[in-house]
Amino acid sequence: MDSYVELFRASNSIEANAVKGMLEQQGILVRLLGEALGGAAGELPVDAQQIRLLVQRCHITKAQQIMVRYQQTMAPWQCVDCHEQNDGHFELCWNCGSEPVN
């Protein structure tokens, strides 16, 4: 059996499972470590609550390429009309409703 290596640390279970699903659609098996610690929010340091995504070593290069694309789509963007900062997952400016310029 191939060994597993850490690919990414998600800040919460929603992000971890979204990334896991994205990778598994590409045929990459993912293990989550730390998902059960979400119930300890407020009791543990924030970095201890992160969920680690592990992939088989033989799939790490493909998984890293997928993660680069994922992180690029999540990059914050600034609205050209009202100049407000928007989180990367926003399809429209939260302030004025304008679309991002690519």
| Domains of the chain (ranges, CATH numbers) | 4-75 (3.30.70.1530)
Neighbours of 70 (CB within 10 A): 16
Per-residue pLDDT at 95 exceeds 90: yes
Per-residue pLDDT at 37 exceeds 60: no
- Output the pLDDT for position 56: 97
- Output the pLDDT for position 42: 57
pLDDT tens-digit readout, 39-94: 545 554 454 469 999 999 999 999 999 999 888 777 888 999 999 999 887 889 99
Model pTM above 0.85: no
Per-residue pLDDT at 35 exceeds 70: yes
Q: How far, in Å, CA of 74 to CA of 89, rounded?
A: 6
Q: Which residues pair with 4 in a beta bridge?
A: 56
Chain position carrying tokens 């800040």: 11
